[in-house]
Amino acid sequence: MRWTPHSTVAVVVEQNGRFLLIEERSSGRIVLNQPAGHIEQGETFIEAAVREAREESGWEVEPKSLIGFYVHPSINNDITYHRMCFHAAAVQHYPDQPLDDGIITTHWLTLGEIEQQAARLRTPVVLQCIYDYLAGRSLPLDFIVEEV
Q: Provide, rounded to the nearest whole percent, the portion of the chain with pLDDT above 90.
A: 83
Instruction: Return the domain boundaries, the chain.
Output: 6-142
pLDDT digits (tens, 9 = 90+) for 125-138: 999 999 999 999 99
pLDDT digits (tens, 9 = 90+) for 51-72: 999 999 999 999 999 999 999 8
pLDDT of the residue at 31: 97
- pLDDT of residue 119 exceeding 90, the answer is yes
Q: Which CATH superfamily is domain 6-142 in?
A: Nucleoside Triphosphate Pyrophosphohydrolase (3.90.79.10)
Cα–Cα distance measured from residue 144 to residue 57, given in angstroms and rounded to the nearest whole number: 25
Strands (E) in the chain, as ranges, are 6-15, 18-26, 29-33, 36-38, 59-73, 80-93, 103-109
